[in-house]
């Protein structure tokens, strides 16, 4: 029995714990009995064919999706319909979207300071200092006064990452962060993510960037039809996939 | 063959083959045509006017009008001149437009939000409202409402009395008004002070939040100042509650204020019709803000109210405000349908004047001048607004 | 330490919690999802129960039907609708003052017209033949309306009225205004300053004033504009007024379409050596007009509703004919029946056109998907 399985069963450790989570969209069963435990500082890459439920899985962790059965506990807080719990979880968990979702009516700096000011109630000056620090970290401090529409896709996604970091989250969720980017911009975003990973933040990342998975992940999870089919360390996962479906998926994704 | 007009050494093309020459010829032709047409129309008009012995010019505005106007915001009698008659008409147009715009906005926002309601019944009802009102001519609706008031409501003696002091009859609506009292003057002053104070507190709250991070419950404070202060002033003034109640006398009502059937039907018809269009604008404005924006804001930990206030509304308003202002303009223009049910707006008064004096050109020029200056003012506002809020993009 | 669960899900048959699917689930999600929505639902249901049965009773069950004269209606006034009013006055409302013995002619015209419109709504029938059909149809309709040939009695256009007048004013208005609108739109986008300013002034002038003032102008100023001794009839004046009005609005719609055409199309056409008119006629306008069809239909709906304003200059369109029917003292007071009858006709026309334009928009959008 693995450490993860033990954690899942005892319901302890692990900053994120999902126990028997089931979700339906109407009649469609998107998540089937998901059991997952994520340790503090762990980097997890989730992959799988489209429609396999991987985005839904991480969106559940941030209460962007409701689930009908099972339990999700984030940093000791159970995710229920209780708004207080949802607020508590969301302020610990940052999320980066495929489509960036920057606020087009606010400058880059205002995008970054919005949540700290209104949620954390940080004074404006302080929020701006933090924002500038993180903009430096994603290497675009000079863009602070611009509007999102003036930036390239890669720059926008880096701003989106910085925006999440400004809330000083314990967990970062990435929902296909590079899928909407032109090829030449993927690297600049991945570089930022790798740097972030090296600092020990907990990361869950839905992505098809297998190179990223090899360098960064502690664990790779393969999902299909709403189930976790296989999970392993990246080396084993790529070199020695066990399940047929994993093999098929990997052959399709790595063949070109 | 390409002709390069900037290089002198190139062989000069004939003027017809030179794009600039061609443009000049076209423009001379068009302008010449328009001038000729105008000259023709004007000379015909001069001749016709001479034959009919109508003196052109705005001198008639000083002459005595000789007709009464059923409702007016300023003093007017048959002895007043045509100029004041036009002024009465313009003011009546403003009156019904301003009130109509206020009601249509509130109603339109409510129905627009209702169309997006997660409650199926509410959404369907709102949709039926919009489809029904939008697809029936406004004039027909005005006739209908006018009919409801003047035909279906009982006479003054049997007036419907839904609330104390409110009488609905086929002669119009009677509504009580508070009797003039010093306390109301004070409350009015307090209202102005409240608005100014709210503005000051808003600036202070913003500065304090920037300094300490503590947000201030501005909505409650503002409501308290704007509503609370006048109420306080009214209480201090002795809380007068005497109302000027309409009462049925021997032949007619006395006291209170009257909404004439014409005004009530026009106001109601304009407001409900325009509300249907505003509702659609509000709906599409909110839908124009992608759901990802709400999700991103929620994921940052912002509560629903803040998401709406800080993220969704600022973006939706950019989409909503320009078409809404043109709906306001439409409502104002549509108020000219007043002439069909007899509310004395600008066009109605102008039409009477036109029939009496034969000064057709002058009357129609006044219509056009008034409506055009309104549209120009509104489009100037829209240009200013669009420039101010234009999203900066690469 | 590999963890594999490679089994086809055994719970294929497992169902979501009963309350989230089926009619119950639908009601929970759409009517009772929050306490506020539940309260609203109950409130609305109560209002519907209170209002619908009396309304149905008035419209159908207690209504007076058939050719029975006004007396039974008077007896039941306020209780049931008086549809015998429509029975009596329906022809007046539909055809205005057209001689009643000849009313089969406007009837035929309307059938012909609606048939042509229905055919034109089908995109697969858009072709040159359809245009010919409209041309022939138009001639036939005019001959039917005026008469004076083939043994048909001559009917002057002062006697025209009702629905044919409404349809005629709006359709002819659109057909004539459309080319004007295209020219104005091209003029507004021209780079010749004089042409551009003239077009801008015209468009903004007309759009800035209510239709009523344009109709007034047509009614009282046109006679002044013409040389002494020349007169034009009321119908033609109204028609010209509406055309001048519609052209400005259509111009803005077409301009919207022109603006939506990417610059590359203009450049491609120029690089092929096409001159201005060829470029516009062959490349730009076909695309611009195609994407403007839905807003054009919407403009037409507005225009169709606006024809009611000809009442101001005394033409008997559908609405004014209904108003005239109501002036009969014997039938005074049945305004609700008369206006409802008109409202239904207007609604059917406008609503079907707006649904059509929405459908078309959806289809054109898939054809013109961005990127």
CB of A152 less than 8 A from some CB of C: no
- Long-range contact pairs involving B53-60 (C-beta distance under 8 Å, separation at least 24): B54/B358, B54/B359, B56/B359, B56/B361, B56/B362, B57/B362, B58/B362, B60/B353, B60/B357, B60/B359, B60/B362
The answer to whether the CB of B217 falls within 8 A of the CB of B305 is no
The residue of chain A nearest to residue C21, with distances taken between CA atoms, is A26
Distance, in Å, from the CA atom of A13 to the CA atom of B100, rounded to the nearest integer, reads 63
Mark yes or no for CB contact C5/A230 under 8 Å.
Answer: yes
- Strand pairing of A93-96 and B172-175? unpaired
The answer to whether the CB of C348 falls within 8 A of the CB of C304 is no
Mark yes or no for CB contact B296/A105 under 8 Å.
Answer: no
In C176-235, the residues whose Cβ lies within 8 Å of chain B are 191-195, 198, 204-205, 207-213, 216-217, 220-221, 223-228
A123 → closest Cβ in B210, B290, B393? B210
The residue of chain A nearest to residue B206, with distances taken between CA atoms, is A124
Distance, in Å, from the CA atom of B288 to the CA atom of B317, rounded to the nearest integer, reads 10
Residues of chain C contacting residue A225, judged by C-beta atoms under 8 Å apart = 9
| Residue C38 covered by a domain | no
Distance, in Å, from the CA atom of B194 to the CA atom of B184, rounded to the nearest integer, reads 15
Distance, in Å, from the CA atom of A249 to the CA atom of B233, rounded to the nearest integer, reads 75
Q: What is the four-CA torsion angle of C133, C134, C138, C139, rounded to 10 degrees?
A: -30
The answer to whether the CB of B348 falls within 8 A of the CB of B339 is yes
Considering only CA atoms, which of C307, C291, C202 is closest in space to residue C253?
A: C291
CB of A249 less than 8 A from some CB of C: no
pLDDT of residue B20: 77
ipTM above 0.85, yes or no: yes
Instruction: Name the DSSP class of B289.
Output: S
pLDDT-derived band at B15 (thresholds 50, 70, 90) equals low
A227 → closest Cβ in C1, C3, C9? C9
Residues of chain A contacting residue C29, judged by C-beta atoms under 8 Å apart = none
* Per-residue pLDDT tens digits of chain C, which is 371 residues long: 455 655 555 455 566 776 666 777 778 777 787 788 888 888 989 999 888 888 888 877 777 777 777 777 777 666 777 777 777 777 778 887 777 777 787 788 888 888 888 878 777 777 778 788 788 888 877 777 777 777 777 777 777 778 888 888 888 888 899 999 999 998 888 888 888 888 988 998 898 889 988 988 888 888 888 777 777 788 888 899 999 999 999 999 988 888 888 888 888 888 887 778 888 888 888 888 888 888 888 888 988 999 999 888 888 888 888 888 888 777 777 888 888 888 999 999 899 988 888 888 777 765 544 33
The two structure tokens encoding residue C70: 């006004």
CB of B160 less than 8 A from some CB of C: no
CB of C309 less than 8 A from some CB of B: yes
Mark yes or no for CB contact B301/A124 under 8 Å.
Answer: no
Query: Is A177 in a helix, a strand, or coil?
Result: coil
Residues of chain A contacting residue B298, judged by C-beta atoms under 8 Å apart = 63-64, 90
Distance from CA of B325 to the nearest CA of A (A): 21
Q: Helix C162-188 crosses helix C104-120 at what angle (to 10 degrees)? A: 40
Q: Is the pLDDT of residue A1 over 70?
A: no
The residue of chain C nearest to residue B370, with distances taken between CA atoms, is C209
Distance, in Å, from the CA atom of B213 to the CA atom of A119, rounded to the nearest integer, reads 10
Query: Could you give the angle at the alpha carbon of B89 between the alpha carbons of B104 and B156, nearest 5°?
Result: 70
List of residues 6+ apart from C35 with CB closer than 8 A: none
Q: What is the CA radius of gyration of chain C?
A: 28
| Residue C73 covered by a domain | no
| Residue C112 covered by a domain | no
User: What residues are paired with A19 via a beta bridge?
Assistant: A71
CB of C129 less than 8 A from some CB of B: no
Considering only CA atoms, which of C280, C301, C292 is closest in space to residue C354?
A: C301
pLDDT of residue C7: 52
Mark yes or no for CB contact B44/C207 under 8 Å.
Answer: no
Q: Which of B24, B54, B121, B125 to probe the C interface (max C CBs under 10 A)?
A: B121
The two structure tokens encoding residue C160: 């025209």
The two structure tokens encoding residue A4: 């993860």
> CATH homologous superfamily for B82-143+261-389?
MetI-like (1.10.3720.10)
The residue of chain C nearest to residue B377, with distances taken between CA atoms, is C208
Q: Which of C198, C213, C222, C327 to probe the B interface (max B CBs under 10 A)?
A: C213
List of residues 6+ apart from B290 with CB closer than 8 A: A99, A101
**Torsion angles phi and psi, residue B243, rounded to 5:** -105, 150
The two structure tokens encoding residue A63: 């209460």
Tokens 């055919």 correspond to C119
Could you write out the DSSP letters of every residue in A218-238? SEEEEEETTEEEEEE-HHHHH
pLDDT of residue B42: 84
Mark yes or no for CB contact C6/A244 under 8 Å.
Answer: yes
| Residue C105 covered by a domain | no
Strand ranges (E), chain A: 16-25, 28-38, 43-47, 69-74, 77-78, 93-96, 171-175, 202-206, 219-224, 227-232
Q: How crowded is residue C68: how many other Cβ atoms within 10 Å of its Cβ?
A: 14
Sheet of A16-25: strand order equals A28-38, A16-25, A69-74, A77-78
Distance, in Å, from the CA atom of C179 to the CA atom of C251, rounded to the nearest integer, reads 9
pLDDT of residue C78: 66
| pLDDT, tens only, B84-131 | 888 999 999 999 999 999 999 999 999 999 998 888 889 999 999 999
Distance from CA of C366 to the nearest CA of B (A): 19
pLDDT of residue B49: 79
Contact partners for chain B, using 3 or more CB pairs closer than 8 A, are A, C
- Whole-prediction pTM value? 0.84
C21 → closest Cβ in A26, A225, A230? A26
Mark yes or no for CB contact B295/A97 under 8 Å.
Answer: yes
Q: Count A/B contacts: CB-CB distance under 8 Å.
A: 95
| Residue C8 covered by a domain | no
Alpha helices per DSSP H over chain B: 19-52, 82-115, 120-134, 138-147, 182-212, 218-223, 229-236, 261-288, 291-299, 304-306, 313-334, 338-341, 346-357, 360-389
**Torsion angles phi and psi, residue B245, rounded to 5:** -85, 135
Residue C283's domain is classified under what CATH number? 1.10.3720.10
Distance from CA of C53 to the nearest CA of B (A): 17
Residues of chain B contacting residue C358, judged by C-beta atoms under 8 Å apart = none
Residues of chain B contacting residue C226, judged by C-beta atoms under 8 Å apart = 44, 48
Q: What is the four-CA torsion angle of C135, C136, C138, C142, rounded to 10 degrees?
A: 140
| Residue C126 covered by a domain | no
- Strand pairing of A43-47 and A202-206? parallel
Alpha helices per DSSP H over chain C: 22-30, 35-56, 70-75, 84-95, 104-120, 128-146, 162-188, 193-208, 211-216, 222-225, 234-260, 263-271, 276-278, 285-306, 318-326, 335-367
Q: Count B/C contacts: CB-CB distance under 8 Å.
A: 157
Residues of chain B contacting residue A93, judged by C-beta atoms under 8 Å apart = 299
Which residues of chain A are at the B interface, by a Cβ-Cβ cutoff of 8 Å? 62-64, 83, 87, 90-91, 93-95, 97, 99, 101-105, 114-115, 117-127, 146-147, 149-151, 160, 163-164, 167
Of the ranges A12-16, A112-116, B27-31, C110-114, which is most confident?
A112-116
| Residue C214 covered by a domain | yes
Distance, in Å, from the CA atom of B350 to the CA atom of B82, rounded to the nearest integer, reads 9
pLDDT of residue C346: 92
Query: Could you give the angle at the alpha carbon of B278 between the alpha carbons of B96 and B144, nearest 5°?
Result: 55
* Averaged pLDDT, B170-175: 82
Mark yes or no for CB contact C17/A68 under 8 Å.
Answer: yes
Q: What is the CA radius of gyration of chain A?
A: 18
The residue of chain C nearest to residue B362, with distances taken between CA atoms, is C221
Query: Is C327 in a helix, a strand, or coil?
Result: coil
Mark yes or no for CB contact B303/A87 under 8 Å.
Answer: yes
* CB burial string C273-282: b at 16+ within 10 A, e below: ebeeeebbee
* Averaged pLDDT, B179-184: 79
Mark yes or no for CB contact B151/C225 under 8 Å.
Answer: no
Residues of chain A contacting residue C20, judged by C-beta atoms under 8 Å apart = 24, 26, 68
| pLDDT, tens only, A134-177 | 999 999 999 999 999 899 999 999 999 999 999 999 999 999 99
List of residues 6+ apart from C22 with CB closer than 8 A: none
B315 → closest Cβ in A104, A146, A147? A104
The residue of chain C nearest to residue A23, with distances taken between CA atoms, is C16
Distance, in Å, from the CA atom of B363 to the CA atom of B337, rounded to the nearest integer, reads 17
Distance, in Å, from the CA atom of C224 to the CA atom of B56, rounded to the nearest integer, reads 13
Q: Helix C35-56 crosses helix B120-134 at what angle (to 10 degrees)? A: 50
Tokens 């240009």 correspond to B383
List of residues 6+ apart from C239 with CB closer than 8 A: C169, C172, C173
CB of B158 less than 8 A from some CB of C: no
Residues of chain B contacting residue C46, judged by C-beta atoms under 8 Å apart = none
List of residues 6+ apart from A32 with CB closer than 8 A: A22, A225, A226, A227, C9, C11
| Residue C216 covered by a domain | yes
* Mean pLDDT of the residues in chain B: 84
Residues of chain C contacting residue A33, judged by C-beta atoms under 8 Å apart = 11
Considering only CA atoms, which of A240, A219, A221, A238 is closest in space to residue A230?
A: A221
B315 → closest Cβ in A105, A119, A160? A105
Q: Is the pLDDT of residue A121 over 80?
A: yes
User: What residues are paired with C82 via a beta bridge?
Assistant: C64
Domain span at residue C207 reads 83-98+155-364
Domain map (residue ranges) of chain B:
2-51, 82-143+261-389, 180-241
pLDDT of residue B5: 46
Residues of chain C contacting residue A4, judged by C-beta atoms under 8 Å apart = 3
Q: Is the pLDDT of residue A240 over 80?
A: yes
């Amino acid at each position: 029995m693995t450490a993860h399985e033990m954690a899942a069963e005892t319901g302890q450790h692990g900053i994120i714990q999902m126990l028997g989570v089931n979700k339906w969209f109407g009649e469609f069963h998107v998540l089937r009995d998901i059991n997952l435990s994520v340790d503090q500082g762990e980097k997890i890459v989730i992959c799988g064919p489209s429609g396999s439920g991987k985005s839904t899985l991480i969106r559940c962790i941030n209460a962007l999706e409701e689930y009908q059965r099972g339990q999700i506990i984030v940093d000791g807080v159970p995710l229920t319909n209780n708004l207080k719990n949802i607020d508590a979880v969301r302020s610990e968990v940052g999320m980066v979207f495929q489509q960036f979702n920057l606020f087009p009516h606010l400058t880059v700096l205002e995008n970054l300071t919005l949540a700290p000011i209104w949620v954390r109630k940080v004074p404006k000056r302080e929020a701006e200092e933090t924002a500038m620090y993180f903009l430096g970290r994603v290497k675009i401090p000079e863009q602070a006064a611009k509007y999102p529409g003036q930036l390239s896709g890669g720059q926008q996604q880096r701003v989106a990452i910085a925006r999440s970091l400004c809330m000083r989250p314990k967990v970062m969720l990435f929902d296909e962060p590079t899928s909407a980017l032109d090829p030449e911009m993927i690297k600049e975003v991945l570089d930022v993510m790798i740097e972030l990973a090296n600092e020990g933040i907990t990361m869950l990342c839905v992505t098809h960037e297998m190179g990223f998975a090899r360098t960064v992940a502690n664990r790779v999870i393969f999902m299909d039809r709403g189930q976790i089919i296989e999970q392993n360390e990246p080396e084993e996962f790529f070199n020695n996939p066990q399940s047929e479906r994993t093999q098929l998926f990997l052959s399709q994704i790595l063949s070109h | 063959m390409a002709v390069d007009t900037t290089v002198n050494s190139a062989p000069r093309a004939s003027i017809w083959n030179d794009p600039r020459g061609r443009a000049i010829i076209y423009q001379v032709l068009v302008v010449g045509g328009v001038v000729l047409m105008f000259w023709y129309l004007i000379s015909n008009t001069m001749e016709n006017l001479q034959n009919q012995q109508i003196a052109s010019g705005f001198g008639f505005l000083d002459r005595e009008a000789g007709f009464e106007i059923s409702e007016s915001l300023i003093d007017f009698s048959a002895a007043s001149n045509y100029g004041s008659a036009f002024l009465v008409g313009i003011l009546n147009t403003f009156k019904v437009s301003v009130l109509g715009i206020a009601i249509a906005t509130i109603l339109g926002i409510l129905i627009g939000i209702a169309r997006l309601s997660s409650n199926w019944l509410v959404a369907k009802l709102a949709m039926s409202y919009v489809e029904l009102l939008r697809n029936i001519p406004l004039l027909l609706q005005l006739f209908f409402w006018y009919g409801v008031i003047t035909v279906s409501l009982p006479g003054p003696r049997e007036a419907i009395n839904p609330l104390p002091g409110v009488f609905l009859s086929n002669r119009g609506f009677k509504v009580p008004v508070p009797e003039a009292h010093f306390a109301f003057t004070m409350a009015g002053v307090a209202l102005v002070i409240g608005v100014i104070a709210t503005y000051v507190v808003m600036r202070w709250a913003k500065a304090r939040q920037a300094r300490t991070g503590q947000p201030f419950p501005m909505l409650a404070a503002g409501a308290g100042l704007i509503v609370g202060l006048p109420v306080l002033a009214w209480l201090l003034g002795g809380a007068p509650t005497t109302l000027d109640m309409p009462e049925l006398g021997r032949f007619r009502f006395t006291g209170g204020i009257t909404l004439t059937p014409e005004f009530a039907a026009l106001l109601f018809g304009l407001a409900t019709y325009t509300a249907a269009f505003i509702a659609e604008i509000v709906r599409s404005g909110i839908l124009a803000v992608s759901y990802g924006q709400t999700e991103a804001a929620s994921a940052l930990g912002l509560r629903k109210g803040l998401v709406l206030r800080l993220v969704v509304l600022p973006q939706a308003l950019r989409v909503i405000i320009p078409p809404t202002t043109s709906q306001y303009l439409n409502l104002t223009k549509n108020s000219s349908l007043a002439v069909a049910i007899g509310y004395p707006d600008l066009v109605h008064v102008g039409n009477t004047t036109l029939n009496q004096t034969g000064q057709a050109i002058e009357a129609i020029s006044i219509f056009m001048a008034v409506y055009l200056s309104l549209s120009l003012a509104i489009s100037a506002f829209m240009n200013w607004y669009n420039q101010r809020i234009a999203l900066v993009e690469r | 330490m590999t963890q594999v669960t490679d089994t086809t899900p055994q719970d294929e048959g497992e169902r979501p919690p009963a309350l989230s699917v089926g009619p119950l689930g639908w009601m929970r999600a759409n009517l009772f999802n929050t306490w506020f929505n539940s309260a609203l639902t109950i409130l609305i249901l109560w209002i519907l129960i209170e209002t619908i049965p009396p309304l149905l009773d008035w419209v159908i069950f207690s209504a007076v039907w058939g050719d029975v004269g006004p007396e039974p209606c008077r007896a039941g006034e306020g209780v049931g609708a008086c549809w015998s009013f429509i029975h009596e006055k329906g022809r007046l409302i539909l055809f205005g003052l057209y001689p009643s013995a000849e009313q089969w002619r406007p009837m035929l015209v309307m059938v012909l017209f609606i048939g042509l419109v229905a055919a034109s709504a089908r995109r697969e029938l858009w072709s040159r033949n359809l245009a010919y059909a409209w041309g022939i149809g138009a001639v036939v309709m005019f001959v039917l309306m005026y008469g004076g040939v083939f043994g048909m009695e001559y009917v002057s256009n002062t006697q025209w009225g009702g629905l044919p007048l409404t349809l005629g004013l709006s359709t002819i208005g659109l057909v004539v205004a459309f080319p004007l609108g295209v020219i104005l739109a091209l003029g507004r986008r021209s780079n010749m300053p004089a042409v551009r300013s003239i077009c801008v002034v015209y468009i903004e002038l007309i759009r800035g004033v209510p239709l009523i003032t344009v109709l007034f102008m047509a009614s009282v100023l046109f006679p002044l504009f013409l040389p002494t001794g020349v007169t034009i009839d009321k119908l033609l004046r109204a028609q010209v007024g509406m055309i001048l009005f519609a052209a400005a609005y259509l111009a803005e719609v077409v301009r919207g379409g022109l603006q939506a055409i990417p610059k590359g199309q203009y450049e491609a056409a120029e690089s092929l050596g096409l001159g201005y008119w060829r470029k516009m006629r062959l490349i730009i306008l076909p695309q611009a007009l195609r994407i403007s069809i839905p807003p054009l239909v919407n403009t037409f709906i507005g225009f169709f509703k606006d024809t009611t304003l000809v009442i101001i200059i005394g033409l008997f369109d559908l609405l004014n004919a209904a108003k005239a029917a109501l002036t009969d003292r014997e039938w005074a007071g049945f305004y609700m029946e008369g206006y409802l009858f008109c409202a239904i006709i207007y609604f059917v026309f406008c609503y079907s056109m707006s649904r059509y334009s929405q459908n078309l928009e959806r289809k054109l959008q898939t054809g013109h998907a961005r990127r």
